[in-house]
Amino acid sequence: MTWSTADIPDLTGRRALVTGATSGLGYETALELLRHGADVLIAARNPAKAAEAAASLSTSSGRTPTVVELDLADLTSVEKAADQVVKSYDKLDLLVNNAGVMATPYRQTADGFELQLGTNHLGHFALTGRLLPLLLKAPAPRVVTVSSFMHKTVRGLQATDFRRPAQGYSKWVAYGKSKLANVLFMLELDRRARTAGANLLSVGAHPGYAATHLQAAGLELAGRNRQARLWAGATKLVAQSAAAGAWPSLYAATYPDLRPGSYVGPGFFEYRGAPAIVLPTRTAQGPELAKQLWDWSVEATGVNPALTVPR
């Protein structure tokens, strides 16, 4: 497949919200959406970084994004952010669930969940559920959930993973499970949307191996700053740029004829290159596990996403 950001259609009149847009993939995704005419909301935890990113995006695109304060590791913050968006706008055309943490030391969210599964999945599950009424008011709404090829490293999920203890914790296993949850959620949202007759497109993407701050952030959180710097330097030598890593997300967000439930990644062995339709693992495609995850997530977050089509 030959594709570049030049193939993104005119997005004038469309409103998008991108999580984690202060740097890396989220920043590059927001930038291209702005450049192609979309009104963009960037949701981020750190107000200072969000303001800096907004200024940079404005300078680079000629369009100013709106900042929404959002901490995905705090369900109260998710509720406040979603309420702000719902009260401020009449529709939302695109939601890009991009933000995440990677390979962090054992931590818990504000609500007591394991940090990676709580942030990468539960925070986005709750945000999507609370924004669905606004999405369903758009003529052709789309939700893009960003996962990783690391979802292939794990074989399942259990409800106990949400509040697992520190004993026996593996940061890479926990990351893989959070990314598996992303794919399971994306596909289950697609199934439920089609069953309900909702005009909602749920699709997924992964960046391959892209040079972002995400690789070093977990080491920094553990206080291993020297190792983080070495990792960041090595990553720049072998990985594609964050801009190229954002291509699958942008393709998933904007390609006109994308089929429901599509999963997009880099075309060259899912490592780098132009976007292509790729396949999640058999585990990730399992509808029974996806339904279980949905039910566990409703119980954990108190949010039960409704796909009732507005009349």
Q: 3-class SS at 46? A: coil
Cα dihedral 34/134/151/31 (nearest 10): 10
Distance between CA atoms of 33 and 254, rounded to whole angstroms? 9
Provide the Cα torsion 58, 93, 102, 83; round to 10°: 90
Tokens 């369903």: give the residue. Answer: 136
Catalytic residues: 147, 175, 179
Both tokens of residue 158? Answer: 């259990």
The conformational region for residue 62 under phi > 0 = left, psi -120 to 50 = alpha, else beta, is: left
Instruction: Give the position of tokens 């391959």.
Output: 208
Helix (H, G, I), strand (E, B) or coil at 268: strand
How far lies 98's CA from each of 1, 164, 262, in Å?
23, 24, 16
Q: How far apart are CA 185 and CA 155, in angstroms?
A: 16
